[in-house]
Structure 1
Amino acid sequence: MKTKHLNSVITAIILALSFSFLYACNEEDSINELNENSINELNDNLNAQELNDSDKEALLFMLEEEKLARDTYVFLDNLWSINQFANIKNSEQSHMDAVESLLVQYGIDYKILPAGQFTDKTLQDFYDQFISDGSKSAADALQIGATIEDLDIVDLQEYIDATSNTSLIAVFENLKCGSTNHLRAFLKGIENLGDTYTPQFLSVDVYNSIINATNQKCGRV
């Protein structure tokens, strides 16, 4: 790969990850600036290894799963005008951009379908159900937001555990970090309505560790 193209990919990933946390979920969130050493580390990660078939499938799936979050939040924001959806939909676009940048870097063919459409049938079924349930009330919509982040964290961790590719691990860890911030933001909205959330995918122990933690500055790779 030409150096100029690689540098543009690195820049795109850095910007995507950074903007993801610019659009974090409340006024207490902030961006963790990437210093020169962090950029050099990302550069090393991107040059480290080739992708195997499982890694490629992970990237393609996570591109659509981040799209699931973005499309659902755009729909629910238009319907309910809740701050969490307005803010986090932009972050989910940045998550998509980060995954897409890796797909471009590794020369993997991909296609982003129109809003609300997914290649993966499971994700399509999730979207259809989330839109239906989230349209019932603002409280139901916030439950859907928490459920999506719950699912996202679990899938990202499974892909992190399954790969030795350092570039995937670096990006997926940052996306997972953002998703834990998003989950806490949705839980705050749920609690403000006097409601509670029961984890659908996370184990109880992991869920409790997330909700008892403070928001993280996820920009450093």
Structure 2
Amino acid sequence: MSFTLLNACSDDNEEDNNDTISQTLTEADKNALLFMLEEEKLARDTYQYLDDLWAINQFSNIKLSEQTHMNLVSNLLDYYNVEYNILPVGEFVNQELQNFYNQFVIDGQVNQSNALQIGATIEDLDIVDLESNLNATTNTSIIEVFENLQCGSRNHLRSFVSVIENSGETYTPQFLTQQEYNLIINSNHEQCN
């Protein structure tokens, strides 16, 4: 399928005047959008559960961001007329994400420290999966949205790690390399679009 987006720029030169940019949604792009919608839902659902359990500011604030992230991906799916279904809280089409959620619920009940570790782990995973999907697409709309989500996830990771470290504990990256992790943690909060 091929879709057309309007180009916001205009040019009086007839030869250079191209009013449209052709954007193709590949099967891989479609699958990436559907997967990231569920992965953002994993974050939202988990944080909602952990916020109800522990009432920690990070969970109450970041779960709202995750809903915004879900909306951004949903908007793209709607734009490209891709059918999707958002399952009830705690339910996922992707079995790996379902397994993560189930484990996070079990581990998150243990104590607040575990809950915060889970928050950092979700953001760690999200950054890596977004990077993988960014490297696999040429669709500029997807790139723009995924870069925005990744920026948010880096800020969320910094927030969780800050609280973990303030309590005298540490977070060890589960998906990012140590070098990637250090680069994020040692950088300032970012302004995301």
Contact 1:48/1:166 (8 A) holds in 2? no
Shift of 1:48: 4.3
SS at match of 2:85: coil
**Where does residue 135 of structure 2 map in the other structure?**
161
1:104 paired residue among 74, 78, 97: 78
Scaled by the length of structure 1, the TM-score of the pair is 0.78
What's the RMSD between the two structures over aligned residues?
1.7
**Where does residue 13 of structure 2 map in the other structure?**
none
**Greater strand content:** 2
For residues 195 and 205 of structure 1, the distance between their equivalents in structure 2, rounded to whole angstroms, comes to: 19
SS at match of 1:49: strand
* Structure 1 segment 38-187 matched on structure 2, within 5 A: 40=8, 48-187=22-161
Shift of 1:193: 1.1
Shift of 1:192: 1.5
Contact 1:145/1:186 (8 A) holds in 2? yes
* Residues 120, 107 of structure 1: alpha-carbon distance in 2 compared, 3 angstrom cutoff: same
Could you list the per-position Cα deviations for residues 15-44 of structure 1 after superposition, in whole angstroms to 9, with x for gaps in the alignment? xxxxxxxxxxxxxxxxxxxxxxxxx58xxx
Contact 1:48/1:165 (8 A) holds in 2? no
Amino acid of the residue matched to residue 106 of structure 1?
Y
Contact 1:76/1:134 (8 A) holds in 2? yes
Amino acid of the residue matched to residue 78 of structure 2?
V
1:202 lines up with 2:187 in the alignment: no
Amino acid of the residue matched to residue 90 of structure 2?
G
| Equivalent residues, number | 179
Structure 2 gaps, min length 5: 10-19
Shift of 1:47: 5.2
For residues 168 and 182 of structure 2, the distance between their equivalents in structure 1, rounded to whole angstroms, comes to: 19
Shift of 1:50: 1.6
For residues 114 and 21 of structure 2, the distance between their equivalents in structure 1, rounded to whole angstroms, comes to: 44
Share of identical aligned residues, percent? 60
For residues 96 and 57 of structure 2, the distance between their equivalents in structure 1, rounded to whole angstroms, comes to: 28
Amino acid of the residue matched to residue 64 of structure 1?
E
**Structure label with greater radius of gyration:** 2
Scaled by the length of structure 2, the TM-score of the pair is 0.90
Q: Greater relative contact order (Cα 8 A, min sep 6): structure 1 or 2?
A: 1
For residues 145 and 63 of structure 1, the distance between their equivalents in structure 2, rounded to whole angstroms, comes to: 17
